[in-house]
Amino acid sequence: MDKQNENQNGNQEFVDFIVTARKYKTKLTNKYLARQKWEQFNPGYVKSFLPGTVIKLKVKPKQKVKEGELLMIHDAMKMLNRVVSPITGVVKAIHVTEGQKIPKNFLMIEIEPK
């Protein structure tokens, strides 16, 4: 649980919010505190849509890639998925290795747009 909304005794504190110029106090729920945080979309980040295993890497760091070019093969739910480049650019970093098991939304490859 996020300790952001707790006081020294472990009790949740009230937080302020304003609706149409009126100020209210409320406690944030555990579900809200555990939510996935929003992050700015980056077209050069290649993330996994499903948990699975990296079968084969087809690129190396600093390699130029074109949009639609094969980057890797990812095994998810007994299906081999072709992961292709979303943009044209240069491979900035590879955060996976062959045989590595990865969770959903894992940043696998970073591509710097060119």
pLDDT in tens, 47-104: 999 999 999 999 999 999 999 999 999 999 999 999 999 999 999 999 999 999 999 9
pLDDT at 45: 96
With beta carbons less than 8 A apart as the criterion, state whether 84 and 71 touch: yes
- Shortest CA distance to 13 belongs to which of 3, 23, 22, 55? 3
- For the residues of 53-112, what is the DSSP string, one character each? EEEEE---TT-EE-TT-EEEEEEETTEEEEEE-SSSEEEEEE---TT-EE-TT-EEEEEE
With beta carbons less than 8 A apart as the criterion, state whether 111 and 46 touch: yes
With beta carbons less than 8 A apart as the criterion, state whether 96 and 108 touch: yes
Q: Is the pTM of this model over 0.85?
A: no
pLDDT at 69: 97
